[in-house]
Amino acid sequence: MYIKTKTFQITPKELGALLTFFYYRRMKFIFILLAILLIINIVFSVLQNRFDWWLIYFVGLGAYFVSLPLFFQPQKRNSTLEFQNRYCEIDENFFAVFYEDGSIVKINYSHFIQVVKKADYYFLYMTKVQFYYLPVAAFESEKDIHRFDLFLQSRQLMKLW
């Protein structure tokens, strides 16, 4: 199997938006739980005609969790290489990224811990926070996408269902 992608690039703003979306999606349960506790606390405070300090704690905690994505600054957390034009070459042994400035990163698949596929992109995780971004649009054909998916599944990096 050999797959070569088209040249692609992601901007810091686009990467920040993706990370923010992932964060809110992952924290959805926490937000719902905080909202329920806040509403219960407000109802009990009104019914008992008293001010409850827990209300301020819940509001502060909720504001902290909601504002956390404002601190996501991908251009400071990632190498400048990640925002350059690049293309990938994928074979059975290595995942290689060729950057516009001539830099090459060649990674054995054993270094990936997980691959997350969404409708428009792949995140190939090397650690819980370090990943490579690969857009689905960079592939030449649907056949290449399907071959890559099957290959990742055979390496137990991604589940197709």
* Spatial separation of the C-alpha atoms in residues 62 and 85, rounded to whole Å: 38
The neighbouring-strand residues paired with 94 are: 108
The answer to whether the CB of 3 falls within 8 A of the CB of 89 is: yes
Encoded tokens for 8 = 């692609």
Phi then psi for 75, rounded to 5 degrees?
A: -70, -20
Q: Is the pLDDT of residue 50 over 60?
A: yes
Contacts with 7 (C-beta within 8 Å, 6 or more apart), sequence order? 85, 86, 87, 138
pLDDT at 58 over 80: no
pLDDT of residue 98: 92
User: Could you tell me the maximum CA-CA distance found in the chain, to the nearest angstrom?
Assistant: 70
Q: Convert the pLDDT of each residue in 6-46 to its tens digit.
A: 988 888 788 778 878 878 888 888 888 888 888 888 888 88
Mean pLDDT of the chain: 82
